[in-house]
Amino acid sequence: MPLPVIIAGAITWCGGIWTVAQPLIPGIIAIGSWMFGSHFLAFGGSWLSARWYSKNCIGEGLSGMFQSYWKMGSPMCTSLLVSHVALLAVAVASVVCTAIIFLWLWYSTFKKLLWPIKQEITDELHSIKAVHQSTKIKNILITKEEEEEEESTTI
């Protein structure tokens, strides 16, 4: 196979991939930006507040555990713990919102792009089935007429 044909085939193949991928790019950018931004803030903030809480409010070892009983009621430790729990809740809500947004986009894309194609295929199958049923009925009637003619000729 000559080299220009291979190059032309590769270029055509890449063009086909680009044609399929191009409509998906805005959605991927939007979902990726939302996921990266919200997850980075929520999970990063939650991790950071948990790290500060463990570093400043809970010491190391057995003595740190006993000292944490007196430190844990301080305003700084209470606010770090509350912010950690709140940011963790925001992180989980962000994941749930991302899943809902993705499913909504998928459904709306399916509804706009694939539903008409599915409907055309269904209509075509129904028309083929109707034609098949009508020819089947005609064949049954023809065979019954032939049987009646055979019976009348034999009698």
Domain count, the chain: 1
Q: Is the pTM of this model over 0.85?
A: no
Q: Tell me: pLDDT of 71 over 80.
A: no
The Cα 118–Cα 63 span in angstroms is 69
**151 within some domain:** no
**145 within some domain:** no
**143 within some domain:** no
Which pLDDT tens digit goes with each residue over 77-115? 888 888 888 888 888 888 888 888 878 877 887 777 777
**63 within some domain:** yes
**28 within some domain:** yes
**122 within some domain:** no
- Residue 82 sits in which domain range? 3-112
